[in-house]
Structure formats: structure tokens, C-alpha cells
Amino acid sequence: MIKVIVAGATGRMGQRVGAMLRGQADLRYAAAFEAPGHPAVGRDIGEIVYGEKIGVPVAANLEAVIDQGDVIIDFTFHTATMEFARFAARHGRAMVIGTTGLTPEEKAELAELARSFPCIHAPSMSICVNVLFKLVKKTAAMLGRGYDIEIVEAHHNKKKDAPSGTAIKLGELAAEGVGRHLAEVGVFSRDGIIGERKAGEIGIQSIRAADIVGEHTVYFAGPGERLELSHRAHSRDHFAKGAMVAAAWLAGKGNGLYSMDDVLGLKDL
């Protein structure tokens, strides 16, 4: 039985992770924590997630529960995530990170920290989104440079980062598919008299509205036709499900930074 520690346990994703943990045969909800001063600290997480006590009080920090679990599941905020990763590295505790919005510097630091603990970090924990990643890169390579590539992503109005980590990853993979780098051809906003679209641009546009869980569409547009590859999330449960799969896979793995490609066996496809 793999003992799981949930970061940000009372947040939107923290609660969905907790809810799905209950149905897992090989995972157990062992500990929960929030930020110091959070009103849920001291309460039984079961009352919040399940409506009944399970004997797991919400702690005020990771340090208080680090010895109670085997793997930390984190869907919080990038600066908090990095603090948790540093602490996990010092204690050699495994970590599944679904947090988006990490800066390039933070990603580089995470890769270095992962030399001291096993860690999975992915721009999306969704199984279908990770299949979409493969399809987008292959489609870009097959269609070549004669097609305009545009990405539109939509999320709820509480999301803090834009574009989404998933949209950026889709852009990076599409660029790789046509032998380019997103840092050189990515266009993240358009306003005013911008002139004709430059050849080779990859546009990424963001929508933030109401309670949209997450939607991504990649357009490959050529003369007289276009191909659209889309993913639409119906709930946050599919992110939590992916995190469950990742946590179970990570158990017993050696130190290092892994991806959902590793977890799902997609690396060589």
C-alpha cells in the first residue's frame, strides 16, 4: 500500500485527488497539509472531502507530515511547489507534480533537485492530453511547414497562469514537429494593426471564463482546409486520475525527473 501526502488538500484539485484516492486499491490517503494559518488546519480532511472523519488531520506544512507518506501529490502554485520539491529532495520523498506555470529557471532547478528524489512533473496529468501531445507533434511533422498552426486554450476565471502549461507544451511539440523552436516563433497575443501573419508563426491564445475546466484546440490550417485536434475536460477528475496512475507507477523508482510519457509508455511512440 502506497501512502500518499496531498499538498493543498482543501483546494479544487486537492479535494479531487482526495476523493479519487478513496477508490484506489494500492494507494492510501495518509496525510494532508495546507499553508500555515489556513482555516482548515487541524480539521479532519475526511470531513471536508468525504463528509466523514478518516483520522487524517490537515497539517500546517509539509514538514509536519513528511514522514507519514511515500509520495506527495501536488497541484498548488509554482513557488509553493518548488519549496515542497526542495524539502522532498532533502528527505528523499517521491513527488508527483501537476502544478503548471513553473518558470524555466524553476524547471531547471527541479531537474537538478530530482537527482536526490524520484519526481514526475508534467504540464498535464490527463491521460488523453498526453496522447494529444504525441498526435500534435506527429501531425505537424506530417503536414510540414505549409500549414499555419494556432492554439486556443480556455480555462476557468481563477486560473493564475496564461497560457496554460498544456498550451505551451502543445506549442513546443508542434514547433519541434516542423523543425522550429517555440521561443523563436511563438506569438502569445495579437492587438492592433499587426500586419499579415508571418510564415512559421505558432499562435497561442488564452480564454479565461467562468468555470471552464480546460479546453485546448490545435489548428493546422492550409489552403482550403484545416485539421483541428481538440481536448475538452469534463471535470477535474481526469487530472486526479492521471496523478493516481503516476503515484502508483513512481513507487520504487530511482531518483530522477520523469514525465507522463514514462508513466504511460508513450516515449517511443
> What's the pLDDT score for residue 178?
98
- Cell 500500500 found at: 1
> What's the pLDDT score for residue 224?
97
> What's the pLDDT score for residue 266?
95
> What's the pLDDT score for residue 269?
85
Type of residue numbered 54: I
Residues 145 and 173 in one domain: yes
Cell triple for 210? 467562468
Question: pTM for this structure?
Answer: 0.92
Number of domains in the chain: 2
- Classify residue 17: in a domain, yes or no: yes
C-alpha dist (Å) from residue 249 to 133, 159, 252, 267? 20, 28, 8, 15
Residues 185 and 150 in one domain: yes
Alpha-carbon span 139 to 146, nearest angstrom: 12
Residues 48 and 106 in one domain: yes
Residues 9 and 118 in one domain: yes
- Helices and strands (DSSP H and E) totals, the chain: 9, 12
In 165-199, which positions are buried (b, 16+ CB within 10 angstroms) versus exposed (e)?
A: bbbbbbbbbbbebbebebeebbbbeeeeeeeeeee
Residues 153 and 96 in one domain: no
Q: Reduced to 3 states, what is the DSSP secondary structure of residue 266? A: coil
Residues 190 and 211 in one domain: yes
- Classify residue 48: in a domain, yes or no: yes
Cell triple for 76? 498548488
Residues 121 and 241 in one domain: yes
Nearest-10 crossing angle of helices 78-91, 104-113: 10
Residues 137 and 11 in one domain: no
- Shortest CA distance to 146 belongs to which of 203, 204, 226? 226
Residues 221 and 259 in one domain: no
> What's the pLDDT score for residue 103?
95
- Classify residue 269: in a domain, yes or no: no
Q: What is the pLDDT of residues 154-164, one digit of tens each?
A: 999 999 999 99
Which CATH number characterizes residue 152's domain?
3.30.360.10
Domain range for 12 is 2-125+236-264
Strand partners, 74: 97
Alpha-carbon span 129 to 126, nearest angstrom: 5
> What's the pLDDT score for residue 23?
87
- Cell 531518483 found at: 255
- Classify residue 221: in a domain, yes or no: yes
- Classify residue 119: in a domain, yes or no: yes
Residues 26 and 117 in one domain: yes
Residues 91 and 199 in one domain: no
Mean pLDDT per 10-residue section of the chain, whose length is 269 residues:
98 97 96 98 98 98 98 97 98 97 96 98 96 98 97 97 96 98 97 97 98 98 98 96 97 96 93
Residues 117 and 188 in one domain: no
- Classify residue 23: in a domain, yes or no: yes
Question: Strand 148-155's sheet: what is its strand order?
Answer: 186-187, 202-208, 148-155, 215-222, 225-232
DSSP string, 84-129: HHHHHHHHT-EEEE------HHHHHHHHHHTTSSEEEE-S---HHH
Which residues are designated catalytic?
155, 159
- Classify residue 33: in a domain, yes or no: yes
- Classify residue 136: in a domain, yes or no: yes
Q: What is the pLDDT of residues 27-76, one digit of tens each?
A: 999 999 999 999 999 999 999 999 999 999 999 999 999 999 999 999 99
Q: How far is C-alpha 89 from the geometric centre of its chain's CA atoms?
A: 20
